[in-house]
Amino acid sequence: MSASIAFILFAAAITPGPNNLLVLDVARQGFSATLAPIAGIILGTLVLILGLRLGLDFALSAYPAAEPIMRVAGACVLGYLALRALRAGWSKPSKDDETPPENRALFFAMFSF
């Protein structure tokens, strides 16, 4: 099982996607600013895999009403990340860009994504 988790994390690290785009955006603030979103991505993936291994997929099939709620929540997180990326691309660099983003917010956003 550990080899399959390592493969999933490796594939996620090298393929373009919203996770990598957000980490690249935060990387402008320095390496230390990227640690929180990277930790959120890794821990979120591990919790998802652990939940599936413990039978969460059967619980979701037993409660079909939970699926639309999860879809809306996932769409909200993805929308937040998209707006953040768009805003960062359109804004001019300022003194505020020199301060690192809120690590806690980025961690939970990437963990929930």
The DSSP annotation for the chain comes to: -HHHHHHHHHHHHHS-SHHHHHHHHHGGG-HHHHHHHHHHHHHHHHHHHHHHHTTHHHHHHH-TTHHHHHHHHHHHHHHHHHHHHHHHHHSPP-GGGGSPP-HHHHHHHHHH-
Domain residues for 35?
2-112
Q: If you average pLDDT over each of 18-22, 64-68, 109-113, which comes out highest? A: 64-68
Number of structural domains found in the chain? 1
Judged against a pLDDT cut of 70, whether residue 62 lies above it is answered with: yes
The 10s digit of each residue's pLDDT in 74-96 is 899 888 878 877 877 665 555 55
Is the model more confident about 103 or about 17?
Answer: 17
CB atoms within 10 A of CB 106: 25
Contact 23, 34 (CB under 8 A): yes
The predicted model scores a pTM of 0.60
